[in-house]
Amino acid sequence: MAFRRFRKIIGVSLPASVMVASVAHGMSGLSDDELASVQGRDGVVISASLDTSIDSIEFRSDFAQPSAASFFLEDISIRSTLGGPVDVTTEFDVGGNGAGDAYVVLSSDWTGMDLQVLGARHGSAPGTSFGSFALKGDGSLKLGVEGGLFNSGANNASFDLTTSGDWIFRSGAASSPELSLGNINFGARFTDGAGNPGLGTFGLTSDGLVISAPFMDVDLNFDLLFKPVPTDFDTTGRQSAILFGWEGGIEDALIRVGTGGIGYGADIGPSGLTEFNVDGSILGTRSEGLNVLAEWNYGSDFAFILGQAGGNRTRVRFFDWQRLSGASIDFRMPIIVDTVNGPGTGPGGICFGGNLPTAGSLTSPDCGSVGGVFENIAPEVGALAVVIRDGRLHAFNSQVEVIDPGTATPSEIFNWSLLYTFGKIDSNIYLSGVPGGGIEADILLAMQSPGYWSAAQTNFSGIAGPQIGDPAFDPRARWGTNTHFMIADTNTAIDVTGDGIAGDQFGIGIVNADLLWQADDLSIDITSTGGPDPRGVLRLETSTLGQYRFRGLFGGGSLLPGGATNGLERPVRVALVDVNLLTSFFRFDLLSAPIGEEFMGFASVFDFAPGAYLSIAEPSQPSSDFRVQNISGRLAWENGEIKLTSASDNPSDNKPRLTILNDITFGATAGGTPFRADIAFSGAALGSAVIPAGRWAQEFTLKKQ
C-alpha cells in the first residue's frame, strides 16, 4: 500500500511488470533466487534484470496555479534488444584519495537495452501524440566524487559517460515510416587537456546539477537514416541521408541543469527599458519547469563533421576553432523547457532588429523605441515550450580535413573555414501533438547583430567623434559578437591586415546579419514518398504562415583585429541584402537516398504572401536599392541533392567533391499559380515580371583546385 500511494503522487501507473534486482555486499552472499553475485571487495554491487512496462508517467508543474500543466509519457517499456530482460550492473564503493578523505565511486554498465515510449502528449490533449521513439544500445557511467556522491564543493571528481546504439522516431503507429539517429555515439568525460582522465566538479547546488571542468572531451556522432516501410523500430535495411558529428575537446565547460521554467510579467530591466520576465530575473519569480545552461570554449581539436552515412564514409572535419575578437566566450546556450496552457502563458515576444546590444526581451512599445520590430506567435493550445534568450556562438573553424578512406589521399587538410557565428539567439518554440501522431509547432527564432542594420540604413551618419569604434555606440565595433555567414581563407598568401606579414585570415559572405524564422501551425511529420521504391521523408509544412527573413552586408574582410582593415569593423562593402520570404504555404522535405546511393535529398514549395520581397542596396546610399517586391505565386525546389563524393567516384580527376544540385520550378510547372513580381529602383517602379511556368536546373560543385 505504501508503494501504491507513492506511485500515485508522482503520477506513475504501473501494470503487471517484472523488475528483479539483487544487492550484494562485499562480506555477504545472497541466494541464486535473488540473482546475487558475491563480490570479494568492500562496497555494494546491484545486478538488475529489467523487463518493465509502465502505462504512463506524468510530469506536473505549477500545481494549483493558473499556469498548472502536465506532460505525459505513455506506454513505456524497458527490455533487451534480444528479447526478455536486460541486465544492468551497478557498483557503489567508498575509498580514499590518499589524503584520508572519503571518495565515493559509482559505476554502472548496461548492454542491449531497448527503451520504448509509444506516446507523448500535453496533459490537456488526450488522444494526441508527438509520436513514438525507441532508444536501443549499450552504455556505461563512471563517477567518483570526494566527500559524497553529489558534493559540488569538490573539484576533483572523475566522470565518464559513454553510450552507443540507435535512437528511432516515428510519427504514427507501428509500421509507419521511421527516422533514425543511427549508429549513435554519445559521451562526455573529464580530461587533463591531453586526452587522459582528468578531474572536475559533479554535484548538486541550490541552482541544480552542476557539471564543470577545465577540460572535457565530448562526442556526438550519428548517421541520419530512414526506413520507409519498417517492421517495428528495426535497424536493418535503412536508407542513408547524411553523417553528422561533433567531437573533441572543450575547455572551461559548465553544464547546469536546474529547476525553474518561464517567468511571467514584465518590468524595468537592466537595459532601463521594460523587459519580459522570461527567466524570472526581472521580478524574481518564475513557473516550475526545467532550465539548462551549457557554455564552453572549443579546444583546437574540436571538430564539426559532415559526410556520407554509407559507402566509404567520406567526410569533412571542420576543426581548429578560434574565437572572434572581442567575444568573451565561444559558445553559450541557456534553454528553458516548460509546459504552457495556450493563450496568455508564453514568455512574451522577441524584439527583432533593435539597436540595443545588451540582453533582454523588450516589450512592444520599448522595442519600437530602439528601432526594432516586435514579433510574437503566442501559444494557441497546451504545448511543450522551448525558450532561448541570449544564446551565442562566437567561434569559427580555421581548418578543414577531408577524409576519404581507401583512396590514394585518405586525408588532406586545408586552411579554410565555413564560418557561421550567431550574435544573439532568441527563440520561442511551442510543440503540441496531433491525433494519430506527429508534431504541430509554432516557431519564432531570431539570430541577430543588434543595431547594425538600423545604423547601416543611414550609412552610420549618426555615429561621430569618440563614438566611432566604441561598442557602446558603434555597432560596427561589435562585429566580434555579431552574426556572420562566410567562407574564409585562413592562411592567405598576401598581407591583408597591413602588418607586413602574410598568412592572414580573410572571409567573404554575409556580415553582421539578422535572421528571423517564423512558422505558425507548422506540421512536422515523418513520412515517405510512397510508390514501389519509397524514400523516407522528414516533412515540415504550414498553410498558415511561414517567414524567412535574412538581411546583412554582403562583403568581406579580415577575421583578425588591428592592421589597416581593423578586422571586420571596416569590411569591404559590396551590397546591403534584405530577403523576406513571406509565404501563405510552405513545405520543406528532407529525403533519404535510395538504397545503394549516398546523398541527402531535399525539396521545397513556396506560395508567396503579400509583403515578400528581395532588396539589394548600395551601402554608401542605402536608399538606392534594386527591389523585387510584391512577389506572389508559386516557386519550388525539386530533385535536390547534397552529396559528398569520394575521389574513387570521380575518376576524371580523382578528387573528392561537394555537389549541390536541384531544379527550380515556377508557376504551373510547380503545380501552382504564376510567379509574379514588381521591379523597382530607388522606390520608382520599373515594371513587372511574370513567369507562368518554367524550370531552371542548377548545379554547384566545390573541390580542390
Condensed to tens digits (0 to 9), the pLDDT of residues 53-64 reads: 999 999 999 887
- The predicted pLDDT at position 97 comes to 59
Q: What is the mean pLDDT of residues 375-396?
A: 96
Q: Which residues contact 466 (CB under 8 A, 6 or more apart)?
A: none
Rounded Cα distance between 629 and 678, Å, is 5
Rounded Cα distance between 339 and 464, Å, is 48
Rounded Cα distance between 565 and 494, Å, is 14
Rounded Cα distance between 588 and 640, Å, is 11
Residue 12: pLDDT over 50 = no
Identify the weakest region by mean pLDDT among 269-273, 392-396, 438-442, 574-578: 269-273
Percentage with pLDDT > 90 across the chain:
76
Residue 511: pLDDT over 80 = yes
How many CA within 13 A on the CB side of residue 529?
18
Rounded Cα distance between 18 and 10, Å, is 20
Residue 28's pLDDT band, with cuts at 50, 70 and 90, is very low
Residue 16: pLDDT over 70 = no
Residue 262: pLDDT over 80 = yes
pLDDT tens, 96-121? 656 667 788 999 999 999 999 999 99
Give the E-state strand segments of 347-394 in sequence order: 350-352, 373-375, 383-393
Rounded Cα distance between 481 and 448, Å, is 10
Identify the weakest region by mean pLDDT among 152-166, 221-235, 485-499, 619-633: 485-499
CB atoms closer than 10 angstroms to residue 529:
16
Residue 10: pLDDT over 50 = no
- Residue 104 or 638, more confident: 638
pLDDT tens, 145-176? 988 888 888 888 999 999 999 999 999 999 99
Question: Residue 572: which H helix or E strand, with range?
Answer: strand 572-591
8 A C-beta contact, residue 456 and residue 622 = yes
Percentage with pLDDT > 70 across the chain:
92
Q: Which residues contact 83 (CB under 8 A, 6 or more apart)?
A: none
- The predicted pLDDT at position 495 comes to 76
Task: Identify which of 568, 548, 550 has the alpha carbon closest to the alpha carbon of residue 559.
Answer: 568
Summary mean pLDDT of the chain: 89
Rounded Cα distance between 422 and 484, Å, is 7
Residue 583: pLDDT over 60 = yes
Rounded-to-5 percentages of helix, strand, coil across the chain: 5, 60, 35
Residue 351's pLDDT band, with cuts at 50, 70 and 90, is very high
